Amino acid sequence: MKKKIFYFLVMLVFISNTIFSLFYNLDSKELINSIKNKQYSSSEYKIFTQIRIPRTFATYFVGAGLSLVGCVLQSIFLNPLCEGYTLGISSSAGLGVILGTILNLPFTKFFNSLLGITISLVVIYLLILISKKTIDIGFVLTGIVVNFLFSSISILITLFFDQYKINYVLLWLLGSFSYLDINYFYPLWFIIILGIIIILFYSSSMDIVVLGKEKSNSLGVDEQKIKNVLIITSAVITAICVSLTGVISFVGIIIPNTVKIFTGIKHKNWFIWSSISGGIFISLCDNLARNLFYPIEIPISVLTGIVGSLFFIVYLIRGNFYGNTKN
């Protein structure tokens, strides 16, 4: 019963939020007349087709992608605080994009961010070899240190090479859909969908992978192959999301951990509803970012950072409480 109520509420919020995102503060009658009379030069039609539709779609795709990446990383590293942001993956992708922009590298934002992520994955691999553990919070804190390191390098590079772009870099590091490039978004959205499909394809196998290498092998599941495929897919999705909107924090922690309360530990349901909920969450945050202090638009990570910080506090308090009760 709890699951059904949750599913119903999620779809209700999805429908109402989509309507709000597309039609808020638009003259619906003028828009309909423009479509009927094929007046494609009208302001309402241009706002609807060139701004509202791509921006709404982008929020759903980016939110779904980042949430799903959070699910994958938490399952692989067996740590509920793992996601692209806390492990430094998002900030390394941001560093790649900023390097490409400042140095005028002959690559797209996607490939620049993917290059940054490759460096980050090497760093994470070294961290695993050094710490031998990924379950404790120390591993996540190390990832956060890596995150701030890459962010600081991004700002330093900008100051040395082109200080006039510092505002652009700061906005990029805090995430925003205000500079969304429609021509860049349309060719890439299908790659996010493809990545999501690949992850969902292996979602049922993850129920076995989390049991450990020995049990996975005994049940005929190639644990390492699945992990490699999912990590590479997650890296590609994160690279696309960061290249589109910049660095958005804590989505991959807030949504997966909240959704798991309602869906349970079955990875397929968890992955599907986390991606849907993540898209809705980012879309809601984008609406708030645009309208909360209108006409000023605030970066999305300001909102997700507040929610994520509260989540961390609750997690630490619960951890200390249960630790004390056990003692």
pLDDT, tens only, 198-254: 999 998 889 888 888 888 888 888 888 898 899 889 888 888 888 888 888 889 989
pTM of the model: 0.86
Is there a cis peptide before residue 295, judged by omega within 30 degrees of 0?
A: yes
Q: What is the identity of the amino acid at 36?
A: K
Q: Between the CA of residue 198 and those of 58, 150, 195, 310, what are the distances in Å?
A: 20, 29, 5, 32
| DSSP character at residue 86 | T
Distance CA 223, CA 242 (A): 28
The domains located in the chain, with CATH, are 2-7+60-315 (1.10.3470.10)
Distance CA(50)–CA(182), nearest Å, equals: 8
pLDDT band at 64 (very low <50, low <70, confident <90, very high): very high
266-307 per-position pLDDT tens digit: 899 999 999 999 999 999 999 998 888 888 888 898 899 888
Burial 149-183 (b: 16+ CB within 10 A, else e): ebbeebeebbeeeeeeeeebbebbbbbbbeebeee
Which stretch of 92-96, 158-162, 322-326 has the lowest confidence by average pLDDT? 322-326
Residue 274's alpha-carbon distances to 71, 165, 196, 218, 257, in angstroms, are: 8, 35, 11, 30, 9
